[in-house]
Amino acid sequence: MARSIDAARAMQYTKEIVAYGPRWDGSQGMEKVRTYLKNKLKGDQVEEDAFTAETSVGKIAMRNIVVKFPGTKDGIIVLASHYETNYWLRNIPFVGANDGAATSALLLAIADQLRGKKLEGYSIWLAFLDGEESMTRQWNSDDALWGSRHLAKKWQDDGTSKKIKALLLADMIGDADLDIFHDESSTPWVEDLVLQAATRLGYQSHFFASSTSVEDDHIPFARTGVPVADIIDLNYGYNNSYHHTAQDTVDKLSVGSLKISGDVILETIRLVNAVGDNPAPVAPQKPPS
């Protein structure tokens, strides 16, 4: 498997997604982006997970998109990102360049690296998740994480969860000023592998300078016993000033950040394959104090 992402292509995909405009659930933009994703994945093994979410603003049709690349080993590594924008920001030109578009684009670029190749290792599934954002301005995890909650339950019910070796969630990692947090809600040994991957590639200065506990799409999977890591930069702009605003535009992103994020994800996949069913030998690497 390739060890390096085509970051320029990932940036181009980001621009193409953003060009559809706001993509909150129920909007024409969202339908267009769903079609765009499926067209980019045409010919791949794609499954759609359609459901109706009983949200605080009513019933909303949602759809997760999962693309599967078979490996030679029994087991699955999942890479995930949400692709919609906030419903409560539907009245402003919020295109979520960093918050959903860049990471969905990164998954598409990773699909390009996997397509047509024999994967020596676990199968890799890419999950484009719907309904991550809270339906109202005040964050409420019971009124958010709709796609991840639905897919986590589905995979728990059908036995898939037991086959997942690790789930890596990408969120807000196109930020030109990249500073990925250490997430205390993630599985420690998977977080250790992420830092190990970043260190091996010389990118450790962009990782884990700060710690926090994040409520994100990895949580429903963690609750079903799946090892998880949320790869997220929660400080977007000075004092997080671009987050959930119309300022979340492509000019705030960089090809360099997409390369760092994508390459670290690919290296983490390699390390998950290396540790297999026995993550214990991985030396713990705590974030600096």
Q: What is the pLDDT of residues 226-259, one digit of tens each?
A: 999 999 999 999 999 999 999 999 999 999 999 9
- Sheet containing 58-69, strands listed edge to edge, beginning at the edge strand earlier in sequence: 45-55, 58-69, 119-129, 71-82, 164-171, 228-232
Average pLDDT over residues 72-84: 97
The C-alpha atoms of residue 92 and residue 165 are separated, in whole angstroms, by 40
CA 279 to chain centre: 22
pLDDT at residue number 134? 96
Q: Does domain 7-274 have CATH number 3.40.630.10?
A: yes
139: buried, middle or exposed (CB in 10 Å: 19+, 13-18, 0-12)?
A: exposed
In this model, does residue 283 exceed pLDDT 70?
no
Q: What is the pLDDT of residues 155-175, one digit of tens each?
A: 999 999 999 999 999 999 999
Q: What is the DSSP string of 22-42?
A: ---TTSHHHHHHHHHHHHHTT
Q: 92 in helix, strand or coil?
A: coil
pLDDT at residue number 2? 58
The C-alpha atoms of residue 157 and residue 45 are separated, in whole angstroms, by 21
In this model, does residue 281 exceed pLDDT 80?
no
pLDDT > 70 fraction of the chain, expressed in percent and rounded? 96
